[in-house]
């Protein structure tokens, strides 16, 4: 009997806190039911601006944080790699950004997860994602067969005020 009274009292307490909110919401809409929300069949965007100077990246199916960046005014899809010292891209991407063979001197040796490789050092005028804009970013260029995607490494990340994972998303703040 005591259990029934406690359950009944709990139900009354919940109703007392929730019903006024529901009534106010109903009255604000002029007594009309809540509108249906549109459902999008498009895949969710991987990045979203949270506030000016902040961007949130959702992890892809493999758990990597990717987004659409703008490098020197051109769109480039990239993956965040905090294990990479520099932003790294392949030669085709660098050429698409306007770097010529004169700019690409493959004289630096780097150690990668795939072994030793030769890269060229370049300087990016600006690298942007959402409302975040960073200038003068060091980057390296590898031959096309050595790197298949653009990696957004620490030469970009260290110029941010903060970055970290919150609720399964990577939050970048300038």
Task: Say yes or no: 158 and 98 in one domain.
Answer: yes
In a domain, 2, yes or no: yes
Tell whether 62 and 88 lie within a shared domain: yes
Whether residues 16 and 97 share a domain: the answer is no
Q: Does residue 51 sit in the same domain as residue 22?
A: no
Check if the beta carbon of residue 50 is closer than 8 Å to that of residue 56: yes
Same domain, 63 and 145: yes
Above 80 in pLDDT, residue 27?
Answer: no
Read off the CATH number of the domain in which 140 is found. 2.40.70.10
Residue 174 predicted with pLDDT over 70: yes
- Bridge partners, 132 (sequence order): 129
Q: How many domains does the chain have?
A: 2
Rounded alpha-carbon distances, angstroms, from residue 32 to 22, 54, 156: 12, 37, 50
Instruction: Please provide residue 42's backbone torsions phi and psi, each rounded to the nearest 5 degrees.
Output: -75, 150
pTM for the structure as a whole? 0.70
Which residues lie closer than 8 Å to 114 by C-beta, 6 or more apart? 146
Specify whether 22 is located in the same domain as 97.
no
Neighbours of 168 (CB within 10 A): 8
Are 24 and 71 within one domain? no
Could you tell me if 95 and 76 are in contact, meaning their C-beta atoms sit under 8 angstroms apart?
A: no
Q: Do residues 54 and 109 both lie within one domain?
A: yes
Report if residue 42 sits inside a domain: no
Return all residues near 84 (Cβ < 8 A) that are at least 6 apart. 151, 152, 153, 154
> Rounded to whole angstroms, how far apart are CA atoms 162 and 79?
17
- Residue 96 and residue 73 share a domain: yes
Are both 66 and 133 inside the same structural domain?
yes
| Tens-place pLDDT, residues 57-113 | 999 999 999 999 999 999 999 999 999 999 999 999 999 999 998 999 999 998 887
Provide the pLDDT for residue 48. 57
Which domain, by its residues, includes 32?
1-37
């Amino acid at each position: 009997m005591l259990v029934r009274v406690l359950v009944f009292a709990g139900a009354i307490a919940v109703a007392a806190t929730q019903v006024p909110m529901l009534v106010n919401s109903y009255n604000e809409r002029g007594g009309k039911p809540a509108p249906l929300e549109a459902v999008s069949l498009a895949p969710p965007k991987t990045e979203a601006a949270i506030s000016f100077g902040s961007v949130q990246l959702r992890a892809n199916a493999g758990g990597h944080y990717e987004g659409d960046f703008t490098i020197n005014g051109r769109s480039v899809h990239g993956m965040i790699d905090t294990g990479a010292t520099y932003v790294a891209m392949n030669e085709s991407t660098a050429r698409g950004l306007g770097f010529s063979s004169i700019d690409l001197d493959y004289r630096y040796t780097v150690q990668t997860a795939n072994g030793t490789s030769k890269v060229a050092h370049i300087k990016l005028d600006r690298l942007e994602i959402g409302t975040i804009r960073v200038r003068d970013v060091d980057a390296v260029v590898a031959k096309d067969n050595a790197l298949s995607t653009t990696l957004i490494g620490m030469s970009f990340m260290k110029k941010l005020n903060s970055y970290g994972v919150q609720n399964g998303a990577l939050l970048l703040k300038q």
